[in-house]
Structure 1
């Protein structure tokens, strides 16, 4: 969803939107100091609710979410126990949310034909300090990328229309960062995870059309993190934002099916009307 900074206050009061979430989520949102951060997080929470209503037949006003040990939103166990919504079905729903810059994006499992792990990340390219060289900027992240990945960034072709020669290098940096973050989020691990234990090999440049050709090498495989079974989808949302979705599907057959599904054909860009069409206020908020 495109989070234009001027949309939220003009369409509906924030207090009205907060009434569409349970108190535990409202309290968490009100802890944000920056209004923009709170707005993005609020949109993300509304998107999660809309996803479960639209794709899994849940009642909006009965959904509640908690956090995993890695601070990943998960469906509350109380919902699974007390709601008559096929708990054995809901407990396997994989979903993930990310927000940065002007965008909030959600990736969710709608088929549930087999267990899947999902992670998604979106990045705004405009984060480099003006006038700072790419070498200076990227030197702060050498411990997060492999030599192969850093070489890929540095080898980006010069863009004659860019204000400086680092434009495409920076885009490649954020592309790699998106991919790293999507895997970390799919695994559900913490920020201390070794990001150099795996690397990405890009087969083609990112465009507005989603691609699934990127491959990953895993140098420290484990039962929780194997090289086999991963599919990645990437694309540009606009001139300044990219996203990456990581999906661990399991078998090679499932990977082949996943590559045909993760091709951007199911991406939906929501406006406020679509997002809130099934929304209902939560009772007993105070």
Structure 2
């Protein structure tokens, strides 16, 4: 029998203004190719969000394996998704994880799957023999585009099914309600596509969600778990969805494939829980790299 464990972590970066030693600690544990990717960001906000995402991945792998946080290494598959590079002599434990960031939030959703000892003769089930997967997305519930909202909606309508659009533009929804409904659906679509992999082209109009309307999506009652999906007008029964409201202005969605977790909210971590002491943090190259990063400008 396969045992699954779900992890939902969130970091609020609003109050983090990293010092040079702090940033060096963080950068010291990531790989050189990750450093190259991070330095391409124009704004410090995006640099830090992406960096924290990499640290969350390492914390998740380390928490569910016997690999030290500083020794966790990743590669990317053909779809562009990061995966943990396990040593060949280690027990093969399946870890599925995904990160997302927008605004001040960085999220990780993960599933740890392990076969119980002595379960070889257990009768297999579809849910335990199919590979599990997860995708996560976070959106700020606001519209800040250059066009007016009506023009934006007219352009984006082609990304939604007719039933989705009817819900988003429901006559009883005021403008704020419409923006919230839009972001909820967009968040769900992003989470689903991220589970599939970024290398797959999907017609978003063929991905039709029916959101859970049994309760209002708010911070206290979330997550909502009754959302369903039809793809090309066929039900996607292998997927289970959660909708979270992290704060009044931030929604999140998780797409679970072949797995339905127990009810749970995001656990909020702080930056100190992602930093570890390492001699490498004092390397001249790393310190200079961090100085350069801290000189990046913040978003207005």
Alignment CA distance shift 1:279-1:246 (3 Å) = farther
SS at 1:93 equivalent = strand
**Residues 1:157 and 1:237: Cα distance change in structure 2 (over 3 Å):** farther
- Counterpart Cα distance in 2 of 1:168 and 1:130: 20
- The match for 2:225 among 194, 205, 212 is 212
The alignment status of 1:85 with 2:98, answered yes or no, reads: no
Which position in structure 2 is the counterpart of 1:148? Answer: 163
SS state of the match for residue 224, structure 2? Answer: coil
Higher strand content, 1 or 2:
2
- Counterpart in the other structure of 2:4: none
Q: CA offsets per residue over residues 80-101 of structure 1, 9 Å max, x none?
A: 33xx432x22xx3110000001
Q: Which residue of the other structure, out of 187, 194, 209, is the alignment partner of 1:178? A: 187
TM-score (norm 1): 0.80
Q: Deviations over 1:6-65 (max 9, x none)?
A: 413259542332112122212221121221111100010010001111122322222111
Contact kept in structure 1, 2:241 and 2:255, CA below 8 Å:
yes
Deviations 1:190-231 (A, max 9, x none): 36311122211112232212111111112266xxxx712211
* Distance in 2 between residues matched to 1:173 and 1:11, nearest whole Å: 39
- Is the 2:81–2:198 contact (alpha carbons within 8 Å) kept by the matching residues of 1? no
| Alignment correspondent of 1:14 | 23
- How far apart, CA to CA, are the structure 2 residues paired with 1:8 and 1:72? 29
Relative contact order, higher structure (CA 8 A, sep 6+): 2
Aligned pairs, number: 257
TM-score when scaled to structure 2? 0.77
Q: 8 Å contact 1:56–1:110 — kept in the other structure?
A: no
Distance between the aligned counterparts of 1:109 and 1:30, measured in 2? 29
Among 29, 50, 71, the alignment partner of 2:59 is 50
- Supply the distance in 2 between the matched residues of 1:279 and 1:85 (Cα, whole angstroms): 25
**Partners of 2:253 and 2:145 in 1: how far apart?**
24
Please, which moves more after superposition, 25-34 or 63-72? 63-72
The answer on whether the counterparts of 1:176 and 1:200 sit within 8 Å (CA) in structure 2 is: yes
For 1:121, the equivalent position in structure 2 comes to: 137
139-148 vs 149-158, which moves further: 149-158
Are positions 1:264 and 2:252 aligned together?
no
Instruction: Measure, in 1, the Cα distance between the counterparts of 2:223 and 2:252.
Output: 9
Contact kept? 2:61, 2:95, Cα under 8 Å: no
RMSD of Structure 2 on Structure 1 (CA): 2.6
Structure 1 residues not aligned, in runs of 5+: 159-164, 250-254
Gaps of 5+ in 2: 1-9, 116-127, 287-300
Partners of 2:172 and 2:71 in 1: CA distance: 51
Query: Could you tell me whether the CA contact under 8 Å between 2:212 and 2:224 is conserved in 1?
Result: no
